[in-house]
Amino acid sequence: MFDFRSDTVTQPTDAMRRAMAQADVGDDVYGDDPTVNALEEQAAEMAGFEAALFTSSGTQANLLALMAHCERGDEYLCGQQAHNYKFEGGGAAVLGSIQPQPIENEVDGSLCLERVAAAIKPDDIHFARTRLLSLENTIGGKVLPMAYLAQAQAFAFEKGLKLHLDGARVFNAAVDQSVQLSTIAQHFDSLTICLSKGLAAPVGSLLVGDEALIKKARRWRKVLGGGMRQAGILAAAGQLALNEMVERLADDHDNARYLAEQLAALHSVEVDDCATNMVFARFTHSDLKALNAHLLADGCKLSLGPKTRLVLHKDVNRQAADALVASLHRYEKGVA
């Protein structure tokens, strides 16, 4: 089965399973897990930061960032399409008493800084205190330009805001631009990284920041039930994600371009966009349910909708792209 729905479906590698079985572990809540400690140190160093925190998920890492930067009654500015606004259950409001102020994303995924400036609240008892600007990179597969990151950093500094990056797929952005993680991370006060997407670890994300921020986040992680004891078993896979799975993301980007070209040549598919490891397409077939059943029978799993996202990853490669295109060809012939 080729699963195009997301890069979260990637299976851990054999090397990860072996490393997990052999990992040195301890009680991480006591700070005693050597594998977790090593992963956190490595992530901090790669990003050029003082400290990092291993978390159960990207959602938890983002929530901890918001709760560490903001207090009750504070506000964060973010994109209307931001994962940490739209897809995390309103966690900042529910659990942090932090107000989101979403701003419509530009077509390239960035936030217009004039619009952000207009949304910053004056120091007045009527308003929440605007504390933080949160960006996302990649967003919908799109890479935020490096020049924009520098502008956003200068803007945040001038306005007295902290700047967070939801970098669930920040390594896709780094590989796409042939830059180190630290080149992107240097513009931010904190960032989150998912190990369990294209990097193929089974579980886990990281929050990276300075010592003081990570200390606060570590406390909130415990409060939220995220203290994980012998978590080195998971961190061992995370180490391999950082050491062995980053460079190969370039293959996913190549395969996404390849799939976009192949799909665009089909009669009944319109490709809207292709960026890093994602393709966005419209399937103009009259009966999407029937198409879905046909594709499933041919071993291709998609989340078909008005705008379908297809994600390339280590388990959905060029062979998978060819299988999908061949299946769509057969369907066009059969239905026509």
Query: How near is the Cβ of 294 to ligand PLP at its closest, in Å?
Result: 29
Residue spans of beta strands (DSSP E) within 9-70 = 51-55
Residue 67: CB atoms within 10 A of its CB come to: 24
Nearer to ligand PLP, 62 or 255 (CB): 62
Residue 307: CB atoms within 10 A of its CB come to: 12
Interface residues with ligand PLP (CB under 6 A) are 57-59, 62, 83, 136, 166, 168, 194, 196, 205
Nearer to ligand PLP, 207 or 291 (CB): 207
Query: How near is the Cβ of 82 to ligand PLP at its closest, in Å?
Result: 8
Query: How near is the Cβ of 57 to ligand PLP at its closest, in Å?
Result: 3
Nearer to ligand PLP, 295 or 316 (CB): 316
Nearer to ligand PLP, 75 or 136 (CB): 136
**CB of 190 within 8 A of CB of 211?**
no
**CB of 185 within 8 A of CB of 45?**
no
Nearer to ligand PLP, 74 or 166 (CB): 166
Nearer to ligand PLP, 167 or 232 (CB): 167
> In sequence order, which residues have a C-beta less than 8 Å from that of residue 334 and are 6 or more positions away?
294
- Name the closest residue to ligand PLP (Cβ): 58
Query: How near is the Cβ of 139 to ligand PLP at its closest, in Å?
Result: 7
Query: How near is the Cβ of 167 to ligand PLP at its closest, in Å?
Result: 8
Query: How near is the Cβ of 58 to ligand PLP at its closest, in Å?
Result: 2
What is the secondary structure of 171-201 as a DSSP string?
HHHHHHTT--HHHHHTT-SEEEEESSSTT--
Nearer to ligand PLP, 59 or 308 (CB): 59
Tokens of 303: 């989340």
CA 250 to chain centre: 16
Query: How near is the Cβ of 227 to ligand PLP at its closest, in Å?
Result: 17
> In sequence order, which residues have a C-beta less than 8 Å from that of residue 223 and are 6 or more positions away?
none
H-helix segments, the chain: 14-22, 34-47, 58-69, 83-86, 91-96, 113-119, 146-159, 170-176, 181-185, 211-223, 232-244, 249-264, 288-297, 318-335
